[in-house]
Amino acid sequence: MDFELDDSLLNLQDTARRFANEEILPVAAECDVSGEFPIPVLEKAWELGLSHTGIPEELGGVGLSVVAACVGVEELSRGCSGITTSIISNDLALNPILLGGSDDQRREWLGQCSDSFKLMAFCLSEPGAGSDVAGLQLLAEKDGDDYILNGTKAWITNGGYADIYTVFATLDRSSRHKGMCAFVIPKGTPGLTPGRKEDKMGQRASNTTLVHFDNVRVPATQRLGEEGEGFKIAMATLDRARPQVAALAVGIARRALEESLAYAADRKAFGQPIGEFQAVQFMLADMAKGIEASRLLTMQSAWLLDEGRRAAKQSAMAKCFATDAAMEATTDAVQIFGGNGYTREYPVEKLMRDAKLMQIYEGTNQIQRVVIARELSKE
Ligand code: CAA
């Protein structure tokens, strides 16, 4: 067992770290206040091969392993988790094509994303169906060789700007997961319109919107997999994406620790730096062990996926553990900063707001525990 990163991973880590320092950190606080979506930063990440990382080399992509993607994501997220959420949502959205698409579909849609920068959006959740994926209502009715889609998707990352949407719909609402289908739909398709942008508590640099489907005609050539395979494509996509979410949480927690260490060394109380008090040291120690344990779980789940093995349990464990650890680390960071931590003048309140979303998206941490428990009972 080797816990060292090899040279190519170290190079990638260095590139992502420099990108976070030079391109993400300088705009992060501003985007948090304004809610502005920094497309030039996302485009630069793509140019450097830090975005859409799952596109295989034979389709013109960088073809990173899941382990490598996680190494990069942790660095980016240390700069800003909102911007990084927008970046990793491209991989989330391209996975249904990778996992469920035919060779022709992969060449067509993923090839496009390698030729030029294309933002992508994964459209699964709905206003009335977040945790209960099989309860989704977006209807796909057959019309000759086409499908007509009607309904609304909610909480869609990159929803307002995406060039390509991967969309989950049902052929028959009463048949739950057995009736689901996946589609790939380009921007500009008549009837597909981004809706209201959410005014979020954290991760304000990521664009989150409703997406409306009003009689959207989609040819069968844009269906991914067979009719009825949509649910399994969605689940396999989430299994594959959750290690990146965990890595994103590790990046947030790492930043919380870095900021806290610096503050605790500088800020004095009772005539000494607060970092010399055991009460503060224990919080720093807990942050550090949370980060290490989260990273190990993240890398284990990513490695399983790279080995082509089933990773539903480990991916859910990594996502759940790392995002809970990030919430704890950022809450403690605010505590260490005291009154200063509660103001926008210091960076830790943003980290705490950002971390909260991690316990909710890509499956709430309650759903992760459901997945873990079901996998345990199968074993
Ligand atoms: N891989 C492959 N197949 C799977 C699977 C997996 N991981 N999990 C389940 N299946 C299969 C089952 O074996 C079963 O197959 P059969 O019909 O052949 O028996 C079928 O799928 C149905 O499975 P369940 O009975 O377990 O389904 P369920 O309705 O009870 O739901 C759930 C399971 C795990 C709760 C699921 O609904 C779920 O994952 N919910 C969370 C959704 C989620 O994560 N949403 C995030 C949206 S994306 C987002 O937030 C991103 C963003 O914008 C940043």
**pLDDT tens-digit map of 355-366:** 999 999 999 999
Portion of the chain with pLDDT greater than 90, in percent: 99
Alpha-carbon gap, residue 358 to 367, rounded angstroms: 13
Cβ count near 29 (within 10 Å): 14
> From residue 268, how far is each of 168, 264, 276, 336 by CA, in Å?
55, 8, 9, 12
- Are β-strands 164-170 and 120-123 bridged in parallel, bridged antiparallel, or unpaired? parallel
Alpha-carbon gap, residue 204 to 33, rounded angstroms: 8
Sign of CA pseudo-dihedral 37, 39, 40, 45: positive
pTM assigned to the model: 0.97
3-state secondary structure of 248: helix
Give residue-wise pLDDT tens across range 168-206: 999 999 999 999 999 999 999 999 999 999 999 999 999
> Which structure tokens are listed for 38?
């920094």
Average pLDDT for the chain: 97
Give residue-wise pLDDT tens across range 103-139: 999 999 999 999 999 999 999 999 999 999 999 999 9
Split at pLDDT 50, 70, 90, the class of 1 is confident
| Substitution site in 94, 208, 235 for ligand 1 pocket (most atoms within 8 Å of beta carbon) | 235
Ligand 1 midpoint to CA 71 (Å): 26
Ligand 1 midpoint to CA 236 (Å): 8
Q: Give the burial class of 245: count Cβ atoms within 10 A of its Cβ; 0-12 exposed, 13-18 middle, 19 or more buried.
A: buried
| Active site (catalytic) residues | 362
3-state secondary structure of 141: strand
Give residue-wise pLDDT tens across range 278-293: 999 999 999 999 999 9
Please state the rounded mean pLDDT for residues 317-333: 98
> From residue 340, how far is each of 79, 197, 324, 331, 350 by CA, in Å?
20, 31, 23, 13, 12
Do residues 123 and 165 make contact, with C-beta atoms less than 8 angstroms apart? yes
Whether 125 lines ligand 1, by a CB cut-off of 6 Å, is yes
Is the pLDDT reported for residue 276 higher than 90? yes
| Substitution site in 86, 95, 99, 133 for ligand 1 pocket (most atoms within 8 Å of beta carbon) | 133
Please state the rounded mean pLDDT for residues 303-329: 97
Whether 370 lines ligand 1, by a CB cut-off of 6 Å, is yes
Alpha-carbon gap, residue 220 to 185, rounded angstroms: 11
Tell me, what's the pLDDT at 326? Answer: 98
Residue owning the nearest CA to atom 24 of ligand 1: 177
> From residue 92, how far is each of 81, 156, 259, 278 by CA, in Å?
15, 11, 30, 42
3-state secondary structure of 6: coil
- State which amino acid sits at residue 241: A
Cβ count near 300 (within 10 Å): 16
> Which structure tokens are listed for 198?
């959410």
Split at pLDDT 50, 70, 90, the class of 141 is very high
